[in-house]
Structure 1
Amino acid sequence: MRILILAAHPKSSQSIAQRALTAAAQAVHGVTCRDLYAIYPDFNVDAAAEQAILQAHDVIVLQHPFYWYSSPALVKEWLDIVLESGWAYGPGGNKMHGKSLLSAISTGGAESFYHAKGRNRFTVEELLAPFNQTAYLCGMAYLKPFVLYEGRKKKAADLAHEAQRFGQLLHDIAQDRLDLRQHLATGYVLPDSFKRRQA
């Protein structure tokens, strides 16, 4: 499978965690990495160019820090501009049908923060619900997110382990060693449009 990594960190050179994930992804055959902040520093996203790139890939990975329980601003801008009605969803909007979406995020907080009785009150998957629904509306499978907790506090060995885990996940996807239907986010039900495209 062809994997597209859309990395989005406004200060990627200062993020040890995001750099480690990107390096791991770049080492995997079949993975294309794009740094959205380097390509669109002015936020002037080229919808046609991005749509062409999306159509050439099977699995789309949104890789970013978990800013205020969501993503950096450019990710939202990219989604608004690129996933147009009539192209990605709505009448005639079937170009993303049958593809998969994976959120790969790094957090500042510990895993223990993300549950009903934790500091953040919700699990990461619950907080990522807008991305889950975006995938559903576009006829995509939404995969169980990859989460690197406490990115800024990780020791070098622990960070290397997390990067290796991410690289292995991408490798397994690229080599079709992972049944994506068994790797869906908790409670996610595949849209009928995904099933039709995969039939």
Structure 2
Amino acid sequence: MSTLVIVVHPDLAESRINKRWMQELKKQSSVTVHNLYEVYPDEQINVAHEQKLLEQHDRIVLQFPFYWYSSPPLLKKWLDKVLTYGWAYGSEGGKLQGKELLIALSAASVEENYQHGGRNRYTIEELLRPFEATGHMIGVKLLPYFVQYGAATLTDEQLEQSALKYAQAVIS
């Protein structure tokens, strides 16, 4: 199975976890790592190129830090530009039909904060509903989310364990 991991982090150099995850994935021969902020520093997305990349892979992973209960802005722009009517969905669309989609995110806050009654009031699953709805619209099989809570306070050992666990989730 070929996997495309779309990394979307506006300051990857300063990210311990997303940078480490990306390094671990680059060791996998069946994985293509595609860093949107590196490829599009001007945020001018080449839609045809992105659609071709998606068509060439069986599994798509969206990897990003969870900012203000959502994704970084370039991912939203990418979704809006790339997943077009007549290509990703609609009567002439369906190019991603049957592919797998994995959402992988790092959350600075601890898991207890993402519970009913917790500091953030909602679960990660509830907050990620727009991604679930998008997946349904384009006909992909949504895999269980991969979430690393407490990313801001991970020890080096926990970071390494997270990277290995993440790579396993991506390739299995």
Normalising by structure 2, we get a TM-score of 0.98
- Tell me, in whole angstroms, the C-alpha distance in 2 between the residues paired with 1:171 and 1:136: 22
Q: What is the CA-CA distance between 1:128 and the residue it aligns to?
A: 0.5
C-alpha distance in 2, partners of 1:92/1:43? Answer: 28
Residue of structure 2 in register with 1:108 after alignment:
108
Q: Distance in 1 between matches of 2:157 and 2:64?
A: 21
Tell me the equivalent position of 1:129. 129
Give me the CA root mean square deviation: 0.8
**Aligned partners of 1:145, 1:43: CA distance in 2, in Å?**
26
Q: Residue in 2 aligned with 1:154?
A: 154
Q: Which residue of the partner structure matches residue 58 of structure 2?
A: 58
The whole-number CA distance in structure 2 between the counterparts of 1:7 and 1:18 is: 8
Conservation of the 8 A alpha-carbon contact between 2:66 and 2:105: yes
SS in 2 for 1:10: coil
Q: Name the structure 1 match of 2:5.
A: 5
Partner of 2:138 in structure 1?
138
Q: Distance between the aligned counterparts of 1:117 and 1:24, measured in 2?
A: 35
Alpha-carbon distance between aligned partners in 1 of 2:143 and 2:171, rounded to the nearest angstrom? 15
Structure 2 distance, partners of 1:169, 1:86, is: 31
Q: Cα distance, 1:164 vs. partner?
A: 0.7
Structure 1 distance, partners of 2:27, 2:149, is: 22
1: CA distance, partners of 2:171 / 2:78: 26
Deviation at 1:138, TM superposition (A): 0.2
CA offset at residue 26 of structure 1? 1.2
CA contact (8 A) 1:28 1:170 kept: no
Secondary structure of 2:162 counterpart? helix
1:147-180 Cα deviation digits (max 9, x unpaired): 11111210000111111101111232xxxxxxxx
* Structure 1 unmatched ranges of 5 or more: 173-199
- The answer to whether the 8 A contact 2:8-2:64 is kept is yes
Indicate the residue corresponding to 1:167 in structure 2.
167
Rounded Cα–Cα distance in structure 2 between residues aligned with 1:117 and 1:23? 36
Q: How many residues align?
A: 172
Secondary structure, counterpart of 2:32 in structure 1? strand
Q: Can you give the 5+ residue segments of structure 2 that lack an aligned partner in the other structure?
A: none
**Residue 77 of structure 1: CA displacement?**
0.5
| 3-state secondary structure, aligned to 1:27 | coil
Distance in 1 separating the partners of 2:61 and 2:46: 18
Q: Do the aligned partners of 2:3 and 2:171 also contact (CA within 8 Å) in 1? A: no
Under a length normalisation based on structure 1, what TM-score does the superposition of the two structures give?
A: 0.85
Partners of 2:45 and 2:171 in 1: how far apart? 29
